[in-house]
Amino acid sequence: MNIVLFGPPGAGKGTQAKELAKHYNIPHISTGDILRANVREGTTLGMKAKEYMDKGELVPDEVLIGIIRDRLQMPDCNNGYILDGYPRTLPQAEALETILEEIGKLLDVVLNIEVPDAELIGRLSGRRMCSCGESYHLMFNHPLKEGTCDACGGKLYQRDDDREEVVRQRLEVYAAKTKPLIDYYDKKGLLVNIDGTGAVEDVFRQICNVLDSYRK
């Protein structure tokens, strides 16, 4: 299965992608996780990206296109992949199509996870992350032990860009630059809407129902 998980910040893309990756045994490719790993490691790419991320702006297209081109060619993508957080602009979507044509791994489906803005703000402000990529929520999805990642035992932290001012900016950037891709993928016949407002397990079940109907 070659999947794009689409949706606004806080829709639950990362949460669902982790579960889907296990269930279908395909890699979860999160451009946000890749960028944050670069920031942590202090790479040149990370230092450049951080300036944009801290302001809630998008990192330039050419940077992301390079990352995704390299990542999709790794052998673990041969049986499929889940893209989370990419594409976010029209040039990114067009570049993706070219790359996927070149490597013969065209998309099967774009799952658009829908959640109203008011709920997104509550999700993002209560989000707690682990450096392993796992995300939790203080109220809706808390770890077994407070402040500690269930998956790896790491210490949970709040993302700098989950502060309220930055969250508002990210939602604006989403509406202006990313949301138009819904129409782009709908016209290609690839879009399936998912109601993202239920519990994590309910959303997961909805997605699996859709994906199972696509599997050969």
Q: Is 151 in the site for Zn ion (CB under 5 A)?
A: yes
Return the exposure string of 53-79: e unless at least 16 CB atoms fall within 10 Å of the residue's CB, then b: beebebbebebbbebbeebbeeeebee
Residue with Cβ nearer Zn ion (149 or 171): 149
Query: How many other CB atoms sit within 10 Å of the CB of residue 101?
Result: 10
Which x/- pattern over 102-131 shows residues binding Zn ion (rule: CB under 5 A)?
----------------------------x-
Among 47, 74, 152, 175, binds Zn ion (CB under 5 A): 152
Q: How far is the CB of 18 from Zn ion (least distance, A)?
A: 10
Q: Applying CB under 6 A, which part among 6-14, 38-46, 100-108, 208-216 lies near ligand ADP?
A: 6-14
88 is catalytic: yes
CA torsion 3→174→192→136, rounded to 10°? 70
Q: Which does 72 bind (CB under 5 to 8 A by kind): Zn ion, ligand ADP, none?
A: none
Q: Is 149 in the site for Zn ion (CB under 5 A)?
A: yes
Q: Is the dihedral of CA 156, 32, 183, 189 positive or negative?
A: negative
Among 126, 143, 154, 198, binds Zn ion (CB under 5 A): 154
- Say how far apart CA 149 and CA 133 lie, in whole Å: 10
Give the largest Cα separation in the chain, rounded. 46
Q: Which does 130 bind (CB under 5 to 8 A by kind): ligand ADP, Zn ion, none?
A: Zn ion
Q: How far is the CB of 11 from ligand ADP (least distance, A)?
A: 4
Q: Is 149 in the site for ligand ADP (CB under 6 A)?
A: no
Instruction: Classify 140 as helix, strand or coil.
Output: coil
CA torsion 68→195→164→179, rounded to 10°? 50
Pair 192, 210: CB distance under 8 Å: yes
Q: Which does 65 bind (CB under 5 to 8 A by kind): ligand ADP, Zn ion, none?
A: none
- Say how far apart CA 171 and CA 117 lie, in whole Å: 8
Instruction: Classify 46 as helix, strand or coil.
Output: helix
Site size toward ligand ADP, by CB under 6 A: 35
Under the rule (CB under 6 A), what is the footprint of ligand ADP?
A: 7, 9-15, 31-32, 35, 52-53, 56-59, 64, 85-86, 88, 92, 123, 126-127, 135-137, 140-141, 161, 170, 199-200, 203
Catalytic site positions: 13, 88, 127, 159, 170
